[in-house]
Structure 1
C-alpha cells in the first residue's frame, strides 16, 4: 500500500457521489508522469478500482499581439501521430508558481515576453484518468526576444487573427481541448461577457 495520489474529497461534495481511498500502488514512475492503481470504496460500501495518471500540473498562455493577432504553435504530438495547432503551454516545475511557469514557457517556446498578465481560470482536461489541471493565462504587451527550446523540442510559430483561429476551429482543424477553451475565453472576454484582471509584470 502507498500514499494516495489523488486529492481527498472536497468539503461539500454530495455524499452519495464521493469515492474514498482505501489502498493503492504505483504502477509506473516516469520522468514526467506517475501511473497509479487505487482501490476505492463507493458510497454503497462496495470496492472499485481506479487507474489514473498523476501529473504535476501545467499552464497555457493566450498571447495577444498589439495588432490583435495571436501567437500560436504548431508541433508534432507523438501519441496522435499528427501536428496540432495550440497555444503555448507547459508543465509546472517543482516549487514553481503558475505565473512564473506561464512567463517561462512563453519565453522559452516563443521568445515573447509580456508586460501584462491575467489569469483566466483552471481547467481539467482529462478528469476521468488524470490529476492534471491547466491554469489558463492571458498575456499582452508582448516584446520579442530569443527562444530557448528544450532539447528535442521542435515548434513552428504562426500568427493568427481571432477570426482565422475561429474558422479553423469551426472546420474541426483545432482539436486541442485547452486551445479551444482558450479561444472561447478570448471571445467571451472580447465580447465583454467574461472579465480578466490584468497585472503588470515586475
Structure 2
C-alpha cells in the first residue's frame, strides 16, 4: 500500500460541538442544530442533516461498453434527472447487498461481478451523507421493482456518450458524474478487463 502524502494531514484546530438540539426527524433524515466553536475560536451555530441510510451508486457496464441510465423526476430540484442506478441502504446492512437490490429494483439487472470503486462524502458542509459506488459487470436481466413513489425510465447508451453528457453538464447528479469519471480513469489505466476497457473507450 502506498504511503499517504504529508499534505493530507489535518491542519489547525477542529470544530468543537458544545450542545445540540434535534429540530426534525423522519424515517430518512434528522436535522440537528449545534452550538459550536469554529476552528478560529468564534462561537457559531451549525445545522447538520444526518442520513439514516448510506447512499448507493451502481455503474452497470455491459460487455459492449454500454451502460444503463435511469430517468426520473427529482423533488428537491424540481427537474428531470438521468442518473446511474442509485438509492439508499441501511447502515447496518452490507452495502453490497443494498447495491444489488437497487440494481434489480431500478434497472432490472443482476450482476455476476461487483467492484467497489468509490466512497465519498456528499455535500459535506451540511450533511454527513456517505455514498458508496460499485461497478457491476456480467449483467443479466431480471424484473424491475421500483418503489411505489418512483416512475422510472430506462435507457441503454454507450459509456462514452454518457460520459460526454456528464462532462457537458447534462447529467448533473454528482454520483453519476463521479462514477463515470472513475470508470473512465480505470479503463484508461487498464484497471478493468482489457476487452471491457477497449469497448468503453471506443
Q: Please indicate the TM-score interval, normalised by the length of the shorter structure.
A: 0.7 to 0.9
- 1:39 aligns with 35
> What residue number does 2:95 align with?
98
Show structure 1 runs of 5+ residues with no match.
1-11, 198-202
1:19 maps to: 15
Structure 2, unmatched stretches of 5+, are 1-8, 194-202
Q: What does residue 152 of structure 2 align with?
A: 155
Q: Please, what TM-score do these two structures have when normalized by structure 1?
A: 0.85
Q: Check if 1:52 corresponds to 2:78.
A: no
Query: 1:93: how far off?
Result: 2.0
The structure with the greater share of residues assigned to helix is 2
Deviation at 1:152, TM superposition (A): 1.4
- Deviation of 1:44 (Å): 4.4
Contact 1:88–1:105 (Cα < 8 Å) also in 2: yes
Whether the 8 Å CA contact 1:75–1:83 is kept in 2: the answer is yes
* TM-score, with structure 2 as normaliser: 0.85
Cα offsets for 1:90-140 (capped at 9, x unmatched): 111252111111111111111100000000021112111110010011100
**RMSD across aligned positions (CA):** 1.7
SS of the residue corresponding to residue 153 of structure 1 reads coil
2:71 aligned to 70, 74, 95, which one?
A: 74
- Cα distance change, pair 45–108 in 1 and its aligned pair in 2 (3 A): same
Separation in 1, partners of 2:98, 2:67: 19
